[in-house]
Copies of this chain bind each other. A is one copy, B any other.
C-alpha cells in the first residue's frame, strides 16, 4: 500500500528518533494569514519597528506559528491514530523564526505505557523544531493515547518519563539581544508592566469570537496538519468537524491581548490540556491567571507564568473544574505558559 496508515502503539520503540516529513519555508504570507485568522495584536510580532526598538533585527514569525508548524509535521507519525492528545510539558522556544527560514521537526520517543485494556497505549515524544541551519527553534514534550493495530500484539516495556511540572524560570531562553528598556507602552496598547501583575490575579479578556468551519480548516491546513477529524465531516457520526486544539490555543492567546498586551512573547509551555472539544459555531472567550513571576538576565525583561483558559460562551466566570475534579463542560483549554513582559 502506498498511503500512510499512521503508526500504531506497538510500532513505537523507546529511544527512537522519528524525522518528520515536509519541511516548510515561512514568509510574510504565513504571518498575514495568522493575523487574519486570529485577532493577534501583540506589537512585537506585528511591527518590524517595534521589534527593532526591542533589540531584534525585525519582527520574528509569531511564537505560535512556529509551534503549529513544528507540531503539524508530527501528526502523520505521531497522532494519526491517536485517540486523544493528553498533555504538553517542558516546551521552550529557543530561537526566533524569521521570514525565509525553513522548519522541520523530529521527535524522540521518551515514554511508552500500554493501557490495561490492551487496545491502546500512551506514547510520550520530545519534539524538536529545527531551522535550515539545524538549530533547534523550539522543543516540547507531548503525550498522546494511540490505538493498537492488534490488541494481541505484545507491547514494549512500560517507561514513564520524568517530566518537570513546569519549566524553571532559570531555563527560559530569552532571544539574543532582547531589550525592553526602551519599550513603548503606548504603541504596545496597554500601560501594565511586569510589576503591575500580582500572583493569583485573574483577568477576564472580555472579547469573544464565534468560530467558523472554514477558518479552523484554513489554519489547520496552513500548518500542514493532516488529521482527518478536522477536515472530513463524514468522519464522525454526528457530521461535525473537530477543531484542531491549536486553533483554540491561538484564539485564546490572541484574545488575551486585552489585559495582557505586554505579554509579548511566549517562551515556554509548561502544561496544557484540551479539556473539551470545540466545534464550529462555538463562541470562544478566554481568561488568564498569573501563576508566577520571574526576572530574566535581559535588560528590562521580566517573565510571567500565566494560566490561559479558553471557554465557550456561557461558562461560569473563572471556573475550571467541577466538584468531581473533571473539567467543566464549557472549558475548552487549560494552558500554562511563560511570557516575556517589560519590567
**Would B2 and A203 count as touching, CB distance under 8 A?**
yes
Q: Can you tell how many copies of this chain the complex includes?
A: 3
Which of A190, A217, A261 has the most chain B CB atoms closer than 10 A to its own CB?
A: A217
A159 at the interface (CB under 8 A from B): no
The distance in angstroms between the C-alpha atoms of A287 and B214, with both chains bound, is 24
**Does A181 have its Cβ within 8 Å of any Cβ on chain B?**
no
Give min CB distance, A286 to chain B, whole Å.
Answer: 11
A208: contacting residue among B99, B187, B234, CB under 8 A? B234
Contact between B50 and A23, CB atoms less than 8 A apart: yes
- Which of B2, B25, B39, B204 has a CB less than 8 Å from the CB of A59? B25
Is there a chain B Cβ closer than 8 Å to A218's Cβ? yes
- Check if A311 is an interface residue, CB within 8 A of chain B: no
Partner of A3, one of B46, B204, B222, B283: B204
Q: Is the interface of A mostly helix, strand, loop or mixed?
A: mixed
Interface residue? A28 (CB, 8 A): yes
Residues of B within 8 A of A29 (CB): 27-33
- Does A258 lie at the interface of the complex (its beta carbon under 8 Å from any beta carbon of B)? yes
Contact residues of A between 32 and 74, Cβ < 8 Å to B: 32-33, 35-41, 43, 46-50, 59
Contact A221 B2 (CB under 8 A): no
Minimum C-beta distance from A52 to chain B (A): 9
Smallest distance from the beta carbon of A327 to chain B beta carbons, Å?
21
Partner of A49, one of B46, B47, B102, B258: B102
A108 interface residue (CB < 8 Å to B):
no
A262, B37: Cα distance in complex, Å: 31
- Tell me if A206 counts as interface (CB < 8 A to partner B): yes
Interface check A219, CB cutoff 8 A: yes
Residue of B nearest to A239 (CB): B210
- A307 contacts the other chain (CB 8 A): no
Contacting pair B35 A241 (CB below 8 A): no
Residue A295 is within 8 A (CB to CB) of chain B in the complex: no
Q: Does residue A4 face the partner (Cβ distance < 8 Å to B)?
A: yes
Instruction: Find out whether the CB atom of A4 lies under 8 angstroms from the CB atom of B190.
Output: yes
Q: Mark A176-220, 1 if CB is under 8 A from B, else 0.
A: 000000000011111010001000000111111110111101110
Interface flag for A115 (CB, 8 Å): no
Instruction: Give the nearest-CB partner of A29 in chain B.
Output: B32
Chain B residues in 8 Å Cβ range of A50: 23, 102
Does A83 interact with chain B (Cβ within 8 Å)? Answer: no
Which of B40, B47, B209 sits near A232, CB closer than 8 Å? B209
Q: Which 4 A-B pairs have the closest CB atoms?
A: A29-B32, A27-B28, A21-B189, A23-B47
Can you list 26 A-B pairs, Cβ within 8 angstroms, ordered by A?
Answer: A3-B258, A21-B41, A21-B187, A21-B261, A22-B188, A25-B49, A27-B32, A27-B99, A28-B28, A28-B29, A28-B99, A32-B33, A35-B221, A38-B221, A39-B224, A40-B221, A46-B224, A47-B102, A48-B102, A49-B102, A104-B187, A207-B231, A210-B213, A210-B234, A212-B214, A232-B283
Spell out A's residues near B (CB within 8 Å).
2-4, 19, 21-25, 27-33, 35-41, 43, 46-50, 59, 76, 99-100, 102, 104, 132, 186-190, 192, 196, 203-210, 212-215, 217-219, 221-222, 224, 226, 228, 231-235, 241, 258-261, 283, 313
